[in-house]
């Protein structure tokens, strides 16, 4: 009996020590109050935020515990990359910005946080248009297709689209990930301006893609000027059948992913219009809405690249 009690006591003590170490570790990587513009800016909290911003964005902020202009600008840069261009320069303890910043995959699963640094996918990453656009160019100079990729609403940010893009694309194309309603022409102009400052790169052709609500930006673009126009499980409404579709359009959707009556009612009309124009219709089964971008870019890689 005594021997059994001794073993139980040793087990409890071991679990307690493990729990204590875990709590200490978690405490050292959390903030107690707000940081940034108008925040409490406790030096220890600011230092943690500065360290994480350096890791996620590839910056070299001084980890001095002072929430100055550079730290606030970095907070805004990070927020714009995850909130479709929105920012307020403030990180609240336990808030969404903090959760994303402290998450291992907060910016990009392809490890592209370092501006201008080669990623595992064979590209160099930078932020354009004050952080609203995520830009990738292959590490090897040359002429490449330009892919303009629009995310949707809520979670389908530009950063999300970057994260789900198949990795083999990054070494074979110049890619810009844009937020909802940014505008294809504006995104293309930002890319051209960036390439003008880089030597050895040119655009061989261009394509545009819109996922979910991001289809709005594609529908209002000059679709005839693109090699491929991709509608990826898109949000469509009445009247969209009158857009200027062509044989370069790929209209891919799974109606079971949509529970919005106006969208469901518009699907057959848009499908008929695309088919009449000689475009491609794709209606897979079993592909979830969140899994659709990866499915689309893997399925149509031959046409796109």
3-state DSSP call for residue 44?
A: helix
Strands, DSSP E only, in the chain?
35-36, 90-91, 123-128, 133-138, 142-150, 174-178, 201-211, 229-232, 249-252, 280-282
What is the predicted pLDDT for the residue at 69?
Answer: 95
Phi, psi of 2 (to 5 degrees): -65, -40
Confidence of residue 205 (pLDDT cuts 50, 70, 90): very high
What is the predicted pLDDT for the residue at 117?
Answer: 39
**Burial class of residue 157 in the structure, from the number of CB atoms within 10 Å of its CB (0-12 exposed, 13-18 middle, 19+ buried):** buried
What is the predicted pLDDT for the residue at 211?
Answer: 96
Helix (H) or strand (E) holding 297: helix 292-299
What is the predicted pLDDT for the residue at 292?
Answer: 95
Domain limits, the chain: 31-102, 123-304
Task: Please say whether the structural domain 123-304 has been given the CATH code 3.50.50.60.
Answer: no
**Average pLDDT rounded to a whole number, residues 74-98:** 82
Residues 6+ apart with CB under 8 A from 195: 137, 174, 201, 202, 203
**Burial class of residue 186 in the structure, from the number of CB atoms within 10 Å of its CB (0-12 exposed, 13-18 middle, 19+ buried):** middle
pLDDT digits (tens, 9 = 90+) for 164-173: 899 899 999 9
pLDDT digits (tens, 9 = 90+) for 5-17: 454 445 444 444 4
Angle of helix 69-82 versus helix 43-57 axis, rounded to 10: 50
Which carries the bigger pLDDT value, residue 226 or residue 97?
226
Of the chain, the percentage scoring pLDDT greater than 70 comes to 83
What is the predicted pLDDT for the residue at 3?
Answer: 59
Phi, psi of 35 (to 5 degrees): -130, 140
pLDDT digits (tens, 9 = 90+) for 29-46: 689 999 999 999 999 899
In the predicted structure, residue 118 carries a pLDDT above the cut 60: no
Instruction: Give the C-alpha separation, 42 to 33, whole Å.
Output: 7
Instruction: Give the C-alpha separation, 123 to 173, whole Å.
Output: 9
In the predicted structure, residue 21 carries a pLDDT above the cut 50: no
**Average pLDDT rounded to a whole number, residues 269-290:** 96
What is the predicted pLDDT for the residue at 11?
Answer: 45
What is the predicted pLDDT for the residue at 177?
Answer: 95
Beta-sheet pairing, 174-178 with 133-138: antiparallel
Other CB atoms within a 10 A radius of the CB of residue 139 amount to 13
What is the predicted pLDDT for the residue at 40?
Answer: 95
- Tell which CATH classification among 2.60.40, 1.10.101, 1.10.3470, 3.10.110 matches the domain 31-102: 1.10.101
Instruction: Flag whether the pTM goes above 0.85.
Output: no
What is the predicted pLDDT for the residue at 155?
Answer: 82
What is the predicted pLDDT for the residue at 204?
Answer: 97
Instruction: Give the C-alpha separation, 84 to 252, whole Å.
Output: 24
């Amino acid at each position: 009996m005594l021997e059994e009690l001794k073993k139980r006591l040793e087990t409890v003590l071991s679990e307690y020590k493990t729990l204590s170490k875990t709590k200490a570790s978690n405490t050292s990587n959390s903030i107690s109050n707000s940081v940034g513009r108008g925040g409490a800016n406790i030096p220890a909290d600011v230092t943690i935020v500065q360290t994480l911003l350096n890791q996620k964005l590839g910056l070299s902020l001084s980890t001095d515990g002072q929430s100055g202009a550079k730290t606030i600008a970095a907070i805004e840069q990070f927020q714009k990359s995850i909130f479709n261009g929105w920012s307020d320069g403030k990180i609240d303890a336990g808030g969404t910005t903090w959760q994303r910043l402290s998450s291992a995959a907060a910016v990009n699963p392809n490890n592209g946080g370092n501006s201008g640094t080669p990623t595992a996918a064979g590209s160099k990453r930078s932020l354009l248009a004050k952080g609203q656009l995520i830009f990738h160019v292959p590490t090897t100079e040359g002429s490449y297709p330009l892919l303009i990729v629009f995310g949707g609403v809520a979670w389908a940010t530009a950063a999300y689209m970057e994260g789900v893009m198949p990795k083999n694309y990054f070494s074979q194309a110049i890619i810009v990930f844009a937020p909802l309603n940014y505008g294809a022409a504006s995104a293309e102009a930002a890319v051209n301006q960036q390439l003008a400052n880089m030597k050895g790169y040119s655009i061989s052709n261009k394509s545009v893609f819109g996922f979910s609500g991001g289809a709005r930006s594609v529908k209002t673009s000059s679709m005839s000027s693109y090699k491929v126009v991709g509608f990826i499980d898109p949000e469509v409404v009445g009247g969209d059948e009158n857009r200027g579709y062509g044989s370069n359009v790929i209209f891919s959707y799974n109606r079971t992913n949509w529970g919005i009556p106006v969208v469901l009612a518009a699907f057959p009309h848009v499908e008929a219009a695309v088919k009449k124009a000689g475009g491609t219709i794709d209606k897979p089964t079993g592909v979830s809405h969140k899994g659709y971008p990866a499915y689309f870019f893997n399925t149509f890689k031959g046409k796109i690249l």
